[in-house]
Amino acid sequence: MYSSSYGSYGGSSYGSSYSSYGPGGYTSLYTSNYNTPSFPSVLGLPPATGRYNDISSRYSDVTIYPTPISYRSPLLNPKRGLSVQRGNSVPPTFDTSRPPTRGSSIVRREMKKKEEENHINIRLKSPSIPRERTRDELIDSIIHTRTKEHRVMPGFKSTSDFVERRHLKVDCDKVYEGIIIGNGETICNIEYLRGVGVTHVLNTAEHHVVVNPSKYSCYGIKYYGFHVDDLPGENISRYFHRTTDYIDKAVKNGGIVVVNCVMGWSRSATCVAAYLMMKHGMTATRAIETIRQSRPIRPNAGFLQQLADLENTLSKRISLFWKN
C-alpha cells in the first residue's frame, strides 16, 4: 500500500531532484563557470547560475569594487561583535577637566557633588555670608526649652498653674523687662491691669478678643490692636515694625505693655520675639528661648518661618553694613 506513494516520492520525482542536488549535481552547480566573474562573486559569494547571471549581465556596465569581509565582522558573527579580548579589559577612566559628553551621567553627578561641596565650604568659611536660620531650628528651641508649670503671675505672691489661672480668669507672665504676655481674658480685666501698673495694651486678635478701645483711655492706658488669624498661612510679619515701635516706646518711657492674643501662646509671642530681635539684637532662637523660660509659648510653623526670615534679613543687613 505504500509502494505507489513511495515511488512517487523516491522513484521518479524524488530521485530526479536528488540527482540534480546530489553529489554530482551539487558539484556541477557550483563548479561550472567558477572562473567566470559574476555579480555574486564580486560580493564575496560563490558564483551561481540562473538568475544571478541575468543580474550580472544587466549591470555589466557598473564597476563594483569588492570590500573584504572579515570573518570577525559583527555582520557575520553578531554575538561576538567588536569586543576586546577576554582578560584584557581596562576599567573606564573619566576626565573631569573636560566637559562631559552625552550619556556620561556618572561624570555629571561627580562634578555636581564637588560643586555642592565647594559651595558649602565657601559659605562656612566666608564671614561675609551669614548662615541662614531655618524653621526646624526654632522648633527644636521650643521643644528643648521647658517652662515651669507653677509660676508667679505679676501682682500675685503665690504660684499658680493653668487650671488655677483659668479659674481666676487671668493668665499672664512677665517675659522681659516691661513686657507681659497674656491671654484675652487678661486685658478684659482692667482693674487687674491698673493694679500691676500696665500702661500699654497690644491686642493681636481683635476679632477674637473684642474690647472697647475708648474704655482704656479712661484709665490712662494706651491701646493698639489688629487682627491676624493663628494659621500658618497668615502674614504676621507685616506688623513687625509697628508692633516693635509700639513696644519699644512703652518700655523706653518706663511703662509696662501687655501683649495678648486668645491664649497668649502664638500671635503675641511672635510679636514679642520680633521686638527682641529688632531692638535687642537677639537671634530668633534666643528670643524664643528667652520668652519660653517664663511662658509656655508655641507659635505655629508659619510664624516661626517668618521669624527665621526676619533673622536672615537682619543678618544680611548687618553684614552689608560692616562690608561697606
pLDDT at 71: 46
Say if CB 129 and CB 135 are below 8 A apart. no
Q: Which of 12-16, 47-51, 202-206, 221-225 has the lowest mean pLDDT?
A: 12-16
Least confident of 4-13, 40-49, 230-239, 304-313: 4-13
Q: How confident is the model at residue 95 (pLDDT cuts 50, 70, 90)?
A: low
Mean of pLDDT values over 164-175? 95
Residue 13: what pLDDT?
44
Alpha-carbon gap, residue 114 to 109, rounded angstroms? 9
Q: Mind listing the pLDDT tens digit for each residue in 106-116?
A: 667 777 777 76
Q: Is the pLDDT of residue 138 over 80?
A: yes
pLDDT at 66 over 90: no
34-46 residue pLDDT tens: 444 444 444 455 5
Closest CA to 153 of 137, 133, 175: 175
Among the ranges given (93-97, 168-172, 223-227), the one the predictor scored with the smallest mean pLDDT: 93-97
Query: Does position 225 have pLDDT exceeding 90, yes or no?
Result: yes
pLDDT exceeds 60 at position 67: no
Lowest mean pLDDT among 8-17, 80-89, 264-273: 8-17
Residue 104, burial from CB neighbour count under 10 angstroms (0-12, 13-18, 19+): middle
Q: Name the average pLDDT for the chain.
A: 76
pLDDT, tens digit, 9 for 90 and up, residues 256-266: 999 999 999 99
What is the three-class DSSP state of 316? helix
Q: How confident is the model at residue 132 (pLDDT cuts 50, 70, 90)?
A: confident
The rounded distance, in Å, linking the Cα atoms of 104 and 164 is 69
Give me the domains of the chain, ranges plus CATH numbers.
Answer: 3-58 (no CATH), 137-323 (3.90.190.10)
Contact 266, 279 (CB under 8 A): no
Catalytic residue numbers read 261
Residues 6 or more apart whose CB falls under 8 angstroms from that of 27 comprise: none
Count helices and strands in the chain by DSSP H and E runs: 15, 7
In this prediction the pTM is 0.60
